[in-house]
Amino acid sequence: MKIRVIVLFALMSLTVSLSGQQRKTSQNEIYIDSKGLIRLQENAAEASFFGVNYTLPFAYGYRSHKKLIIDIEKAIDQDVYHLARLGINAFRVHVWDTEISDTAGNLLQNEHLRLLDYLLSKLEERQIRIIITPIAYWGNGYPDQDEKTGSFSEKFGKEGAVIKEEAFKAQERYLTQFFKHVNPYTKKTYGQDRFVIATEINNEPHHGGPKSLATSYVNRMVAAIKGTGWNKPVFYNISESPAYADAVAKSKVNGFSFQWYPTGLVAGHELSGNLLPNVDKYVIPFDTIPEFKNKARMIYEFDAADVLKSYMYPAMARSFKTAGFQWATQFAYDPMGTAYANTEYQTHYLNLAYTPAKAISLLIAAKVFKEVPLYKSYGSFPADTTFGPFTVSYKRQLSEMNAPSEFYYSNHTRSVPVKISALQHLAGVGSSEVVNYKGTGAYFIDKLSNESWRLEVMPDAIAVHDPFGKNSLEAAVMRIVFGKHEMKISLPEIGGDFKIEPLNAGNSYRATAVGGRFEIQPGTYVLLKKGSINKLPSNTKLGIIGLNEFVAPARISSLSKEDPFSIANNPDSAQHLFLFNPAVDRELAIVYSPDWKTDPYEYVTAANGEPLLKMDHKAGEKSILGGLEVFVKKSMNSLAKVTTGNSGRTIKNSFKSISIRAVASVDLPVKIILINGDAVAYSCMVNVGKEMKAISVPLSSFKRDDYILLPRPYPGFQSMVFSNVQSQELRVEEIEKVQILLKGDTNTTFSIQIGKICLEDFFK
């Protein structure tokens, strides 16, 4: 009897413990436990999924490939290979429901749906897990005009879809048919497919009306999905409409989705300067909502938008894990067929062939996301630039992982592998202590045996235009160049006189290393220790990578490097150095407004012909009234060695003050902030009056201070102010950014016009 009681008690306990979590099922690889952690069914280990969004079956991606007469299935095959080569294990897409549904919500069996299913099947072949967001509400035009599709999203729009009963019914019908749909390639519904591990109901909903209606909407969509037999996690966005966060939290979903664009979106040009403070921490403001606790967390989209440098992704991955996220997918990976022009989303740019350093940085970030413990903090910048085997560095433009069996780097590095005898995998751009390479493309080196390694070399990527501007398919922003480069590989196991034999189809190039040195051209090869023979069959797999696989854009023989978008900003004399000139810097300056409708800005010309930046403020409670940021490092570098006369004075001890020309409609306090490459800021207050004049401030007046993160991080609840605890003396030659912050009364309406800002020399 005692034994029966114990067994009964144990069963009751199990029932209680499962009541607060998502139950395990044979049709899925994960479950969510009672604490909101995503766990693997196989061994209950904490899961981690890191990857990308990729949108080729729909909208502009589809149209652009049709225009260029590119076989879309072949393009998917090639892009998915590169995703596998980068080691990601997660894929998310917001389905353009507008292209696969009618006004009533009926699912259309068309080419877009077929290509989605084809893509999913190819991702599954590479062991990549999937979260599908079946409703996007978007039109299909961007960056073109929307097409008339006759869908429910076109009829109701983003706002109407979440408040109108007719829209609710259309979405219920659509979701029911979508999740009952059988993928013709896998022969399964998405609910039956173990690689589809979860769903997020819709993409970035904009809720309105009563909060009870929002909760009801979410629950109805959950019921429609589960009514198809779906028994996997269901996520819902909580960050896009934060005013409705409590209403969303009260719903029956299993987890919540967030996004992160820490450098804003659509700057129109490449961003410069140290942006690591922008990704120092991910803030979640919903912890006080009781229903938010013990729910899973996913990042459906993230990117360091308008950033071409390669040090951001691992830092973002670390901040995600510290905040408790177990899924994160970058938006968006560029299809190789159009990546030469970066036309799909010009504020984003990521492709292995065309942005090799960023791609290797993503590879490293995937390792970070897998290895960094959940909720573990590594401090604040700059303490968190080295964590575990990982390093991120703005000054070296570097992401790096240095572990016993793996060594990856996105730029030249002098790091010595921690245990070269244990090394199994290496990938990089540039040179290291193991590989010296003259090309600019990425390369991968993987151990096959004690006597052989696989080498994959991508062609050179050459920048010809700023990739974050106004782009078109008729103009390349990056070009691919095929050519031979010298490479030296130092791997003790195969010595210095190894053979290089081709593996990929159509490649007949062979070489023999002398002292580890040889010339190489793009392709896939086997490196064989002297006296060894390649006995591996051509269909041999290296994990999910075929031994002889290789994908690269169409061949171009040679191209001279151009830099038409470099900026020169030289002084008009040895006594002045312009930091901001409204006549020439308007395209690259970052202007912040708390509300673009009430607080607009524009560039104007004064009666005397002077160019000015005009900023308006309408009375209202706003934490920061407005701001301006200018990246000035190029100007500072151009004068780093300038001397004045025979005095021997350099820029370091020559410029003694900063001057700003400005006028305001009211007496207005303005803060000038100088920021160096270590993200240390120094500030001084000035008063701008009702008369246009140059206000000169001694550099000795500047004191340590915080600064604001520009462009404004998104979502808006992320921190906008950064405080660096480092103690440093202000050195004028190290200034990289200048900020101007408006500090007037929030309840006063005013206007300010800003002219030239410059450093001045007291030793004229």
Rounded Cα distance, 328 and 105, in Å:
29
pLDDT at 535: 87
Q: Span 481-502, mean pLDDT?
A: 97
Task: Identify the band that residue 99 occupies on the pLDDT scale cut at 50, 70 and 90.
Answer: very high
Q: Which residue has the tokens 């035009």?
A: 141
- Looking at residue 606, its amino acid is A
Give every strand in the sheet of 517-520, ordered side by side: 435-437, 485-489, 517-520
Domain holding 588: CATH number? 2.60.120.260
User: Following DSSP, what letter does each residue of 109-128 receive, concatenated?
Assistant: -SHHHHHHHHHHHHHHHTT-
H or E element in which residue 245 lies: helix 245-249
For residue 8, is it within any domain? no
- 349 and 390 assigned to the same domain: no
pLDDT at 240: 96
Strand partners, 202: 135
- 353 and 436 assigned to the same domain: no
Of the candidates 50, 83, 76, 51, the residue with the CA atom closest to the CA atom of residue 61: 76
Q: Which residue has the tokens 């590095």?
A: 413
Q: How far is the CA of 421 from the CAs of 163, 496, 532, 636, in angstroms?
A: 62, 15, 19, 44
User: Following DSSP, what letter does each residue of 240-267 receive, concatenated?
Assistant: SSGGGHHHHHTSS-SEEEEEEBTT-S--
- 656 and 527 assigned to the same domain: no
Please give the structure tokens belonging to residue 203: 């993409």
User: Following DSSP, what letter does each residue of 508-522 receive, concatenated?
Assistant: ---EE-BTTEEEE-S
pLDDT-above-70 percentage for the chain? 92
Strand partners, 714: 261
Contacts of 114 (CB under 8 A, 6+ apart): 184
pLDDT at 17: 37
8 Å CB contact between 152 and 103: yes
Number of domains observed in the structure of the chain: 4
Choose one of 497, 525, 546: the last residue of a domain.
Answer: 546
**Full domain range(s) for residue 115:** 47-371
pLDDT at 453: 97
For residue 714, is it within any domain? yes
For residue 559, is it within any domain? no
pLDDT at 691: 97
pLDDT tens profile 249-258 = 999 999 999 9
Rounded Cα distance, 520 and 502, in Å:
10
pLDDT tens profile 642-689 = 544 445 555 556 789 999 999 999 999 999 999 999 999 999 999 999
CA-CA-CA-CA torsion sign (360, 365, 371, 372) = positive
- 353 and 388 assigned to the same domain: no
Rounded Cα distance, 451 and 453, in Å:
7
Choose one of 371, 402, 433: the last residue of a domain.
Answer: 371
pLDDT at 640: 59
Q: How far is the CA of 130 from the CAs of 55, 127, 138, in angstroms?
A: 13, 10, 21
pLDDT tens profile 344-369 = 999 999 999 999 999 999 999 999 99
Q: Which runs of E-coded beta strand occur in 618-702?
A: 627-631, 655-664, 668-676, 681-688, 693-698
For residue 564, is it within any domain? no
Rounded Cα distance, 185 and 187, in Å:
6
How many Cβ atoms are within 10 Å of 520's Cβ, its own excluded? 21
Task: Identify the band that residue 760 occupies on the pLDDT scale cut at 50, 70 and 90.
Answer: confident
Residue 708 has pLDDT above 90, yes or no: yes
- 451 and 332 assigned to the same domain: no
- 299 and 211 assigned to the same domain: yes
For residue 565, is it within any domain? no
Q: Give the CA angle between residues 516, 518, 519 to the nearest 5°.
A: 155
pLDDT tens profile 181-218 = 999 999 999 999 999 999 999 999 999 999 999 999 99
Please give the structure tokens belonging to residue 239: 């960050």
Contacts of 51 (CB under 8 A, 6+ apart): 83, 88, 89, 90, 91, 92, 128, 328, 329, 330, 366
Of the candidates 138, 137, 147, 212, the residue with the CA atom closest to the CA atom of residue 167: 137
pLDDT tens profile 406-442 = 999 999 999 999 999 999 999 999 999 999 999 999 9
H or E element in which residue 700 lies: none
For residue 563, is it within any domain? no
3-state DSSP assignment of residue 648: coil
Residue 502 has pLDDT above 70, yes or no: yes
- 326 and 206 assigned to the same domain: yes
For residue 1, is it within any domain? no
- 677 and 732 assigned to the same domain: yes
3-state DSSP assignment of residue 578: strand
pLDDT at 649: 54
Please give the structure tokens belonging to residue 108: 């259309």
Burial classification of residue 49, based on how many CB atoms lie within 10 Å of its CB (0-12 exposed, 13-18 middle, 19 or more buried): buried
Task: Identify the band that residue 564 occupies on the pLDDT scale cut at 50, 70 and 90.
Answer: very low
Of the candidates 366, 389, 378, the residue with the CA atom closest to the CA atom of residue 319: 378
Choose one of 506, 530, 546: the last residue of a domain.
Answer: 546
- 263 and 396 assigned to the same domain: no
Burial classification of residue 623, based on how many CB atoms lie within 10 Å of its CB (0-12 exposed, 13-18 middle, 19 or more buried): exposed
- What are phi and psi for residue 648, nearest 5 degrees? 80, 5
Contacts of 557 (CB under 8 A, 6+ apart): 481, 482, 483
- 303 and 161 assigned to the same domain: yes
pLDDT-above-90 percentage for the chain? 86
Task: Identify the band that residue 333 occupies on the pLDDT scale cut at 50, 70 and 90.
Answer: very high
- 159 and 284 assigned to the same domain: yes
Q: Span 732-736, mean pLDDT?
A: 93
Alpha helices, DSSP H, located in 372-424: none
DSSP class of residue 289 equals S
- Looking at residue 572, its amino acid is D
pLDDT tens profile 150-177 = 999 999 999 999 999 999 999 999 999 9
- 355 and 467 assigned to the same domain: no
Of the candidates 64, 635, 577, the residue with the CA atom closest to the CA atom of residue 342: 64
Strands 668-676 and 681-688 turn out to be antiparallel
- What are phi and psi for residue 201, nearest 5 degrees? -55, -50
Looking at every residue in the chain, the average pLDDT score rounds to: 92
pLDDT at 22: 57
Of the candidates 368, 311, 301, 260, the residue with the CA atom closest to the CA atom of residue 54: 301
For residue 10, is it within any domain? no
